[in-house]
Structure 1
């Protein structure tokens, strides 16, 4: 009889415990909470906080204030504070825009977090000349340096620049100095290339000077000057002008007398027998018949012409006594 009573008591206790457990599981653990009476009450959503004067089934929720956030449902009357990013320990100045998420303090450029919690920021490692950045540092990790391999170089200290490739000399250039891990290849122009450039420059200068001189020496308008200059400088090849040789012969005394023109209005000079002068001195000559004739020096040109005309000499020649 006692055993039956004990069995019945255990059964009642088990049913009561199960009933209590089922009553607790009715509340949603994400959006509800159980009050002192065992009633499931609603919570305020993310980005808000619960007012002090609220109702279990219809709570009064208020938005979080500036620099506050709430990332889940809550029955709390205060939101959480956003972290303070101190620029004195190399953090960026943050503007907290979200009220539903916690802001993350970001390190300044050239700095990274000292730990997972990112309590402070440390400067990135600097890669010296001959080394380059294999992995460039960022907010969460430091820079990783590596020695510049063959064919590359780095001539400066940097936390972000990788090794640079050597310069490839272009056509017409040769390697003046080989590259190293800290210096680039030095290229120089080939001598033959220099000679060709010099010849081209000399040719152009000569052409310019020739055109200028040609235009200066050519008469006419500007178009004619340019055209004539280009024809003379760059036109078709023409036969050179042949030199014309003129034989110069000295005239005879007779030809000189014939070539002297008589002055207009001037006839034969008058003879002055009373006052003979040196210029009018009488010379003795022979005529074509062998007779002696006299001739004044002042009329030599007239007698020379008369000798060329025999029929006109009859009146001019006087025989000597």
Structure 2
């Protein structure tokens, strides 16, 4: 006859009465068997465990049974070692193996194992718990990733998965945003229209580069033009000066030169062929 270890004394009393009533009037041998069954049904205390006919004291949490009690000795207990534990009073001869928090399952050690408590696992960053326990988790799964064209409407936690929603209207997201962004309104030229997963591409973005290049070329052209005009003016002035210098002797009045001995000296007006200059006349007067 099998019995629960924690049957109360009241239950045992009622059981004995019922058994006696059932076997009343039977042979003495039957009564003896009933009494033996009743004796085997006597429960041990809450801090005891049954071994044969003995109720042995349990070992405390963190310890296991080394030797069971006897009629003359109490239970012998030893601590749990080598990553094993027992978290309740017990009559076990072996400790339980500590739980392994496997990173491959998205788990990490939240509380390490002790002789009197098992390992408590938590979830890694980016995972949420699929099989929660009282203090931790036994299995986890990675948060889902939103696709391009979707945004994260609810960020995943350690207990819930990420929730994704589609971008509405003229908005877009690459899947990593918590809200969709408005498409850029092109001011001049739209090269590529926006999609739910990408922004519009505008021609305005290339205008500054073109403007800079055009401005540089314009400056070079202007500088070259000014330099050419200045050079032309300088060359023209030099040519004019050379022409003036070359033509100047022909334009000046002729300067009289000294007559040669054979050249006839012209007579002054009013003369008769003889030297009638004042110098000559003065010389004649003197003579």
TM bucket by the smaller chain? 0.3 to 0.5
Larger RCO (alpha carbons 8 Å, 6+ apart) = 2
What TM-score results when the alignment is normalised by the length of structure 1?
Answer: 0.41
